[in-house]
A and B are shown apart, each in its own frame.
Chain A
Amino acid sequence: MTTSNDEKWINKKISRRDMLKLTSIGAAGVAIGASGFGGVMKAMGYDVFEPVADSKTTINKIDFYGRHQSGIITPVQTHIYFASLNVLVTSKQELQELFKKWTPLVVRLMNGELMVDLTTNTRVPTGDTGEAEGLDASNLSITFGVGPSLFEKLGMSHLKPKELEDLPHFPKDQLQEAFTGGDLCIQACADDPQVAFHAVRNLVRAASGKVEIKWSQAGFNSFPATGGTPRNLFAFKDGTVNPSITDAKDLNEVVWVDKGWLKGGSYLVAREIQMHLETWDRTSLKDQEATFGRYRDSGAAFGKTKEFDDFEVEAKDEKGEYIMPDISHVHLARKSGARMLRRSYSYASGVMTNTGAHDAGLLFVSFQKDPAQFTAVQNSLGRMDKMNEYVTHRGSAVFACFPGVQKGSYLGEALFNAL
């Protein structure tokens, strides 16, 4: 029996004013509606939208429209829900329709609104599942990307950038199919875990029959009250050497793609990294610090006193030994010379059924203008990295994240225009 007839919900019903607006939507809106794609989306009311604008009055709100998608250089939120999807659609046109439908829904979610207004018919399920009701926009960002497998599947291999390839096998990788690959990704980040999950849940539901979730991971990040770099589950600061999200020149060098349909977009690398907390926790502080090459408390590199003090990776002490151990994580990563924008989140997902150990670790997420940047770092870490003893890479995926969307356009338009 329905219990949704309370005043709050009733008042959210689609208003007459909304209906009038709908009847005057332009040719673009009509074209979307007339595609024959409807099915469940139409029945659920997902296709009755005009383009939606970023709200100017919403608090804790990240803008959807802009040169770049949100969720890349957006200040890191405290929660992520990351989903890798497989497409069930079999044509480029259906995929294009899906992104056209998704676009206004994404704006509404980021505005902190119900994704779909309630209708007067309480005998059908609601278009929005409702659990974000009463929560604000929570700085929700939603980032879409396409994986290498998508292009062959939909017969558009000629548009696959040559950089977009599954990552090579790295030493000690123990990848599981359950956390690897995907045709599309949705990265939802927010300062509220339920808001992030709600976004993915509803977008996937709105695409029922068009996509299915291949794998997903929830994660969290906690920031000290005084601000600063968050610590991962090994208690070390993670993200210290990131490029500044306000340094446009640096971001152009490190993050943004500058050619082709992906211009203004970025490559997302996701790695599901299990961290063996039990073994880490019985490692002396001295050895833990030598594993990173940084002091745990301050985050400073060996031989330095402050987190952001620059360091010379090859510097040696008076005995001729590396100040920063040459098998430490930071030493090897720095030596690669490659950089990326990291945006990782910790996860704790219960216990490993086979060992009883914590199933916990890091959903590593990085953005770069070329996945080769990630590969360079990972190759440099190679078999040497002292960290290998404490982590196992269980999943891997790479996605090309679209450039930003301008008002009147839709997610991925540049790709579809290039067809």
Chain B
Amino acid sequence: MKHKSLLSVLVAGGILMAGCGDTEKADQDTTPSTQQEAPAAEEVDLTAELTAYKEFALEQMDQFLLETENFVNLFKAGDMEGAKAAYAPARMYFERSEPIAESFGDLDPRIDGRLADIQEEGKGEEEWTGYHKLEYALWEENTTAGYEAIADQLLADAKELHALVQTVEVTPDLMITGAVDLLNEVSTSKITGEEEIYSHTDLYDFKANIEGAEKIFEILRSKLEAKDKELVATLDEKFKAVDDLLAQHVTANGGYISYEELTEENTKALATAVNQLGEPLSQMGIILE
């Protein structure tokens, strides 16, 4: 999860879209840039791209709700193995659409909060809910007993999230910032094994974050090509490099090996590949000018 909500981006995005090329000196104070810039005439038309991304995100959210329901049912039935197997794949739908999924302030920590995040906010363990608490039950406590209410709450929260995302306005900034944020998530928590400290299924989240960023790139591809073909070629190459490395850690049943099985060389190679992808990815904003 992330601490910073993207809500501000969502709200401000419509204003920000305009006026970047305007060199006219506006108010010199420390007023946020969003209020400084006069709306400009030339606005990049990304209507089709924004719609495509919203469709993608809503699909992911549909699947997330279905898979969460499935996971919760298994969990409440006391099916340890079934719940464990369903855990990581269900979360991937959330991780793939994280720029949108995490934009609802309270819901993200309720669904995806880690104990460390909750404690950091000065809250007690009793306020901890969501996937990671059930992860703790399954892998650490080896039981589902006593966690039924948490499971119910997770499903209720997933339903609320599903309802809320229907109304999200996708902006260019949400997409472009979101792609980089997805990679930053990988760099700061997935690559260090801090996301899934009990199940060690970090590579599933890793893969999903990358897929989420790649989807945004794919949607913007033709606009990017019009601006800078070489950047597109570089991004293709760098996404492939990350995907190829991840493919080395796929198990026989199509899942991913435990984070604990990765050597230091493995994580270093993955981290380097992600960083090298992040630099060109952070240039996608060129289409906005």
Chain A residues with CB under 8 Å of chain B are 1-7, 10, 13, 36, 38-40, 42-44, 88, 119-125, 205, 208-209, 212
Summarize B's interface: helix, strand, loop or mixed. Answer: helix
Task: Give Cα A119 to B23, complex, Å.
Answer: 11
- Could you list 13 examples of A-B contacts with CB < 8 Å? A1-B8, A6-B30, A13-B23, A38-B234, A40-B283, A42-B231, A43-B230, A121-B285, A121-B286, A124-B282, A124-B285, A208-B276, A208-B279
Asked whether, in the complex, the Cβ of A120 is within 8 Å of the Cβ of B23, the reply is yes
For A40, give its contact among B8, B33, B280 (CB under 8 Å): B280
Q: Which of B21, B32, B36, B286 has the most CB of A within 10 A?
A: B286
Known: A13-B23, A120-B23, A121-B20. A43 touches B276 (CB 8 A): no
| Interface size band for B | 35 or more
B244 — which chain A residues lie within 8 A by C-beta? none
CB closest residue in chain A, given B283? A43
Is B226 an interface residue, CB under 8 A from the partner? no
Is B233 an interface residue, CB under 8 A from the partner? yes
Task: Give Cα A13 to B28, complex, Å.
Answer: 16
Asked whether, in the complex, the Cβ of A40 is within 8 Å of the Cβ of B231, the reply is yes
Asked whether, in the complex, the Cβ of B20 is within 8 Å of the Cβ of A122, the reply is yes
B279 — which chain A residues lie within 8 A by C-beta? 40, 205, 208-209
Chain B residues with CB under 8 Å of chain A are 8-9, 12, 16, 20-21, 23, 25-26, 28, 30, 32-34, 36-37, 173, 176, 228, 230-231, 233-234, 238, 272, 275-276, 279-280, 282-286, 288-289
A38 — which chain B residues lie within 8 A by C-beta? 228, 230-231, 234
A394 to B: closest C-beta gap in Å: 19
CB closest residue in chain A, given B241? A209
Task: Give Cα A106 to B279, complex, Å.
Answer: 20
For B280, give its contact among A4, A7, A36, A43 (CB under 8 Å): A43
B45 to A: closest C-beta gap in Å: 16
Known: A5-B36, A212-B272. A10 touches B23 (CB 8 A): yes
B251 to A: closest C-beta gap in Å: 29
CB closest residue in chain B, given A39? B234
Asked whether, in the complex, the Cβ of B289 is within 8 Å of the Cβ of A120, the reply is yes
A187 to B: closest C-beta gap in Å: 23
B86 to A: closest C-beta gap in Å: 38
Give 14 A-B pairs besides A1-B8, A3-B32, A209-B280 with Cβ atoms closer than 8 angstroms.
Answer: A7-B28, A10-B23, A38-B230, A38-B231, A40-B234, A42-B228, A42-B230, A88-B276, A120-B289, A121-B285, A123-B16, A123-B288, A124-B282, A212-B272
